[in-house]
Every structure is written in structure tokens, then in C-alpha cells.
Amino acid sequence: VQGYLRLNVTETKKLFGKSSEYQIEVVKDVSKLSHEQLLIISALFPGDITIGTTANINDQKNKLYYTVKQLSDYLATRLTTTNYFKSDPIKAKKKFATAAVVMIVIGINIGFLLPLGIGLLLSGVIVLVFRAIIPDRTPLGVEARDYLFGLKEYIKMAEAERLQ
């Protein structure tokens, strides 16, 4: 979108159909990009990144998984420090998942005959299911989420024809 990369497609005819190969090429100096963008660029392009550097996307499949994990951790920390969340959402989800598993294990060990065991088991399942929405947003985070949901609805309704 910002014009730093260009996607080049090379189509090769095969016996049955066509095969497409995708390459990305750096067309502008990337030194002024944000930390998040540089993290993705460095995952796509091994070594020095200069104008004209190319990389085959098919060669990057396995490397990108690690980069997405790194980026996710970085963004969770950054969203917490910039006051969108009260606590790190990834750490909060892990805490709730751990608590849910403990409740389920205790509920199973106590047994289905006791009401406490059934209550713990059901509570653990509920916490496990709803842990994705548990991280506590600040008012700024709620406002940003609502804005993004509104933007998503706008794009779905007003830009539907263009997207198709």
C-alpha cells in the first residue's frame, strides 16, 4: 500500500494448466518503516535489504510462522504499554487457560457424583471457551475496537462491489 514492495508474478505453462510463482521486490528504502514492518520485511528478505532485492514467496512459508509469533508477542506488549489493554492479553489468556484446565482436572477427579465436581468441570469449560474475550481493555481500547468494527461494517456494506 505504501509502495515499498512490488509483487511480481511469473506464470509457467505446464502440461495441464498453469503454475504461478510469486516474487516480492523492494522498490523503496525500507529504513524508515516501523519496527513491526521491519520485522516482516526482514523475515521475507534474508540478508541485506536494498532496493532491487527480491525474494520468492514460496521459499518463505516456514519462516513466516516464527515471525508471526514474534510480531504477535511484540504487539500484545505494545498494546498494553500504549494503554489499550490493562494487562498483556496473551499472558491473560494463558492464565485463564491454565485456571480452566486446573478446574476441569479437579472437576473430573472429584467425580460427576458430587455437585462441586460438576460445577468445577462446567466452570472450567466456560472459562476455556470465553478466554479469548477476557483480556480487559481500557476505555481507549474499547473505543479503538468499536471504531475498527464500524470500519469493518462500512467496508462490507459500502465497498462490497469494489471488493468483488
Q: How many CA atoms lie within 13 A of 88 on its CB side?
A: 11
Q: How many CA atoms lie within 13 A of 29 on its CB side?
A: 2
Q: How far apart are CA 8 and CA 24, in angstroms?
A: 6
Residue 113: predicted pLDDT: 67
Residue 112: predicted pLDDT: 64
CA distances from 115 to 100, 102, 112, 125 (A): 17, 17, 7, 15
Record the pTM. 0.58
Pairing label, strands 5-13, 54-56: unpaired
3-state secondary structure 75-140: HHHHHHHCCCECCCHHHHHHHHHHHHHHHHHHHHHHCCCCHHHHHHHHHHHHHHHHHHHCCCECHH
Maximum pairwise Cα distance, the chain: 69
Grid cell digits, residue 72: 504477535
Q: If phi over 0 gives left and psi between -120 and 50 gives alpha, with beta otherwise, what is residue 120?
A: alpha
Q: Mean pLDDT for each 10-residue chunk of the chain (164 residues)? A: 85 79 87 84 81 81 77 87 86 84 84 77 83 79 92 85 73
